[in-house]
Chains A and B, each alone.
Chain A
């Protein structure tokens, strides 16, 4: 690694700051601008939040296991279920997808880093600051308690405590992080592709990242304004969302702004997982993805149509028959590109040489669970049926089938698939399969009964229910299922710890993969590729390994073919520069020699620190506001004046 930072580097003093140069050691994580390390930071942080959100879920299930639950008070329950939703959406699925974007997109494109490495570090630190800010309420009068959707008047009342102020400001901070990172990835994908990597040769995962980036760029500002107006209502006595006591505001405006962000957000949460599944299925079926352009275009279509369906979250507010019909229709239409994708995945499997390894199991689980969630979603499009389902556990069941059965299964598929790439270690297949079966059974036990409970009329967000309403049995089943999911996560953690204790290096290309990230070492050197690859086709790495013979059967191109040595041989062959270091490790031999990578920097962290300080200042003291602004400006100015690499 040291070679990458470069021997000719001179440490220059800049005022009191000396440019950090370490690329190893604990401190280097604070100053890193390497997309792979930032990806890991996103991964570690979001997994920690995943455990936190999971504990909140278990508390909810404990409380609801029996009638008249005594575990939590109503007040604590409100905070717990609100934070469970916020955590899982903003602090788990979004940043965990971000971890995959960060780590994989440059590798899949054949690039050395993202377009703006320091901005990337800034996004991460802002995300961490926003997450901690949201949870800081635990010491300051309570956590947000108005539901993750923050509907007025629940969000605008009770201004004596700052709970929903933490919600408004925390989500504002997280929104800045996501917007900045989305711009970064959109530019990276549009502009940083290796020679020959045309748009229609990009892996589907990269395509989905691009669609998600545009959704974030356009959806978040709408939430931003909603949150600013909410904050004004709470702190400056405006009445944007308040209609009580003669105030002229309109609580429905919040719902429009929130869902105009919120429905694209649903696709922001699911499209990355769809991308992962689209990478995993072809590898484990040993077939190209069926109808690649159709999968890409239906992803884009979902991205566009996702803007025209938001009011289906609001049928019960009484929008009138015209609006209801229009949004019901658009909602049914958006099921079409989604269905197209599912059929393409199934066709990819059709007559494939299927290997049921753990990543594949999770991807298949994704397809099955997401299909159930998608179908229950279409039932909400039927307005009269939606009147019946709104605010019941049926909705909760639906959203968990798409966000847990969909997104989380997809993300775990990605973990198992790319773990050897991220860490150079294989996760155990046996434990992985145990994890999968525990999780899918636990998942269905937990969330399947929600549909029944919902149709029986159990409202969501209640902290307690009476005995004899017919809710007892299925709630208990659901709680048992929730603990089974918890057990499956424990198996996953054990699997990870075990793999890293054993210290057996993973093969270079363990799955016989198809995309560029597998052409470099695992984990890749800081500069990713010794030679920037030249791309000749979709699934380029596969075509370097295999050619179709006369009889239509695949034949390995180079002796050795699919095994690790073969993969390395192919890479060397293609590079044509006679890298004879023999280690295949970029830091040895000529690898990495003379390649300038962006230098580490303090300033993204410094600037990012300014935001939570500023937010605390808005709640507690103008003095802190000044401090926050100062930190932000100092960070940004230092950043602007500092060259990206020295």
Chain B
């Protein structure tokens, strides 16, 4: 009868699985594995084209590394608040979880605001999407990352909404954990992008 119970209960969280890991968590890891290759392809394109900036400013002309370092720091700190949110719900402290989720979302929004500011500045300095191979690959790579962060912010706000609605009890803390996995992944990708795009000097 234990086997029947395994598939009889609708909530995926309580499935008895072959590995003991929940289905959704495995699926999230598989999805993140897929995302690695997505960003891998974007970063490869960028590395190929970062030295090709005829027709527009070169990377060193437009980059404001101190500014981007600060916004990177903001994004990395959001991983800390994400961990605190998960820890709060695991201690069954829902108000605190909502507070930390909001903090994470706000830090993410700060990062996105920084990116919008940065893009605007670049365009004003003559670096548009089409000005050179470098600019196209730069905007595509960082734009994809920005879209991922934005998706993550929507996810976090949805969680806050669900929690206020009473749909996110401590028993479902795994949902917060999954959102956290995604959020940390997006942060880690940014470390790689930041290093590849801003810190490693262009060959030419």
Chain A residues packing against B (C-beta within 8 Å): 111-113, 115-116, 179, 182-184, 186-187, 190-195, 197, 217-222, 224-226, 228-229, 232, 236-240, 246-250, 253, 257, 260, 531-532, 534, 594-596, 598, 640-641, 643-646
Query: In whole angstroms, how far apart are the Cα atoms of A113 and B130 in the complex?
Result: 48
B10, A113: Cβ atoms closer than 8 Å: no
Do the beta carbons of B130 and A221 come within 8 Å of each other?
Answer: no
> Is there contact, CB below 8 Å, between B8 and A239?
no
Q: Which of B13-33 contact A (CB under 8 A)?
A: 15, 17-19, 21, 23, 26-27, 30-31, 33
B93 beta carbon closer than 8 Å to chain A: no
Judge whether A238 and B4 touch: CB under 8 Å: no
B130 and A236: CB pair below 8 A? yes
For B19, what are the chain A residues with a Cβ–Cβ distance below 8 Å?
A: 190-191
User: Which chain B residues border A260 with CB–CB below 8 Å?
Assistant: 41
B97: CB under 8 A from chain A?
A: no
CB of A238 within 8 A of CB of B23, answer no
The smallest beta-carbon distance between B128 and chain A, in angstroms, is: 10
B10 touches A644 (CB 8 A): yes
Whether B136 and A221, one on each chain, are in contact in the complex, defined by CB atoms closer than 8 angstroms, is no
Residues of A within 8 A of B129 (CB): 232, 236, 238
Given A248-B133, A644-B10, A191 and B21 contact (CB-CB distance below 8 Å): yes
Contact (Cβ within 8 A) B132 A248: yes
Task: Check B4–A240 contact: CB distance below 8 A.
Answer: no
Is B65 part of the binding interface, using a Cβ–Cβ cutoff of 8 Å? no
Inter-chain contact A191/B10, CB cutoff 8 Å: no
CB distance from B3 to the nearest CB of A (A): 3
A216 vs chain B, min Cβ distance (A): 9
Is A229 a contact of B45 with CB atoms below 8 Å? yes
Instruction: Decide: B30 and A240 in contact? CB cutoff 8 A.
Output: no
Query: Would you give the shortest CB distance from A503 to chain B, in whole angstroms?
Result: 33
A contact residues around B137 at 8 Å (CB): 240
Task: Kindly provide the distance from the CB of A252 to the nearest chain B CB, expressed in whole angstroms.
Answer: 10
Knowing A248-B54, A644-B11, the reply to whether A187 touches B30 (Cβ < 8 A) is yes
CA distance A190 to B21 in the complex (A): 10
Residue from A238, A250, A596 with most neighbouring chain B CB atoms (10 Å)? A238
Determine whether B201 belongs to the interface, using a CB cutoff of 8 Å to chain A.
no
Question: Within 8 Å CB of A247, what residues of B?
Answer: 133
Interface mask (B65-99 → A, CB under 8 Å = 1, otherwise 0): 00000000000000000000000000000000000
Residues in B with CB closer than 8 Å to A112 are 7
Q: Which chain B residues border A221 with CB–CB below 8 Å? A: 34-35, 37-38, 40-41
Contact partner of B27 (CB less than 8 A), chosen from A111, A116, A225, is A116
- B184 an interface residue at 8 Å Cβ cutoff? no
Shortest B49–chain A CB gap in Å is: 7
Give 10 A-B pairs besides A115-B27, A116-B23 with Cβ atoms closer than 8 angstroms: A190-B19, A190-B26, A191-B21, A192-B17, A192-B18, A229-B45, A237-B130, A240-B45, A257-B41, A596-B7
Can you list 30 contacts pairing A with B, beta carbon distance less than 8 Å?
Answer: A112-B7, A183-B34, A190-B18, A190-B19, A191-B21, A191-B23, A192-B23, A194-B3, A195-B3, A221-B41, A224-B38, A225-B42, A225-B45, A236-B129, A238-B136, A239-B133, A239-B136, A240-B45, A240-B136, A246-B54, A248-B49, A248-B133, A249-B49, A531-B4, A532-B3, A534-B3, A596-B7, A596-B9, A596-B10, A598-B10
Contact of B33 with A218 in the complex, beta carbons under 8 Å: yes
Q: Is the interface of B mostly helix, strand, loop or mixed?
A: helix
Say yes or no: is B164 at the interface (Cβ < 8 Å to chain A).
no
Which 4 residue pairs spanning A and B have beta carbons closest together?
A: A532-B3, A221-B38, A225-B41, A645-B10
Residue of A nearest to B38 (CB): A221
**Nearest B residue to A644 by beta-carbon distance?**
B10
Greatest chain B CB density within 10 A among A179, A192, A226 is at A192
Shortest Cβ distance from A645 into chain B, in angstroms? 4
The reply on B113 being an interface residue by CB < 8 A is no
CA distance A238 to B10 in the complex (A): 48
Contacts of B23 in A (CB 8 A): 115-116, 187, 191-192
Min CB distance, A614 to chain B, in Å? 14
State in angstroms the CA–CA spacing of A353 and B19 once bound together: 38
Flag if A228 contacts B140 (CB, 8 Å): yes
Cα–Cα distance between A183 and B23 once the two chains are bound (Å): 10
Min CB gap B135→A, angstroms? 9
Distance (Å) between the CB of A172 and the closest chain B CB?
A: 12
List the B side residues contacting A229 at CB < 8 Å: 45, 140
Residues of A within 8 A of B38 (CB): 221-222, 224-225
A151 to B38, CA, bound (A): 20
- State A260–B41 Cα separation when bound (angstroms): 10
Distance between B166 CB and nearest chain A CB, rounded to angstroms:
13
A113 partner, pick from B7, B9, B18, B140, beta carbons under 8 A: B7
Inter-chain CA distance A226–B140, complex, in Å, is: 12
Distance A224 CA – B140 CA, assembled complex (angstroms): 13
Give the distance in Å from the alpha carbon of A203 to the alpha carbon of B35 in the complex: 30
Inter-subunit contact B130/A238 (CB<8 Å): yes
- Taking a contact as CB atoms under 8 Å apart, the answer to whether B3 and A644 are in contact is no
* Across-interface contacts of B49 in A (CB, < 8 A): 240, 248-250
Task: Please give the distance in Å from B61's CB to the nearest CB on chain A.
Answer: 17
Residues on A with beta carbons closer than 8 Å to the beta carbon of B34? 179, 183, 217-218, 220-221
Determine how close the nearest CB of chain B comes to the CB of A195; give it in whole angstroms.
6
Q: Is B52 interfacial (CB 8 A cutoff)?
A: yes
CA distance A249 to B133 in the complex (A): 6
Q: Is A193 touching B18 in the complex (CB atoms < 8 A)?
A: yes
Closest Cβ neighbor of B10 among chain A residues:
A645
Name the residue on A nearest B136 (C-beta): A238
Complex Cα spacing A240 to B135, Å: 10
CA distance A375 to B23 in the complex (A): 41
Residue of B nearest to A247 (CB): B133
Task: Please tell me if B6 contacts chain A, counting CB pairs below 8 Å.
Answer: yes
A571 CB, min distance to chain B CBs, angstroms: 15
- A128 to B: closest C-beta gap in Å: 22
Contact B136 A232 (CB under 8 A): yes
A217 to B27, CA, bound (A): 11
Q: In the bound complex, do residue B30 and residue A191 qualify as a contact, i.e. CB atoms below 8 Å apart?
A: no
Of all chain B residues, the one with the shortest Cβ separation from A528 is: B7
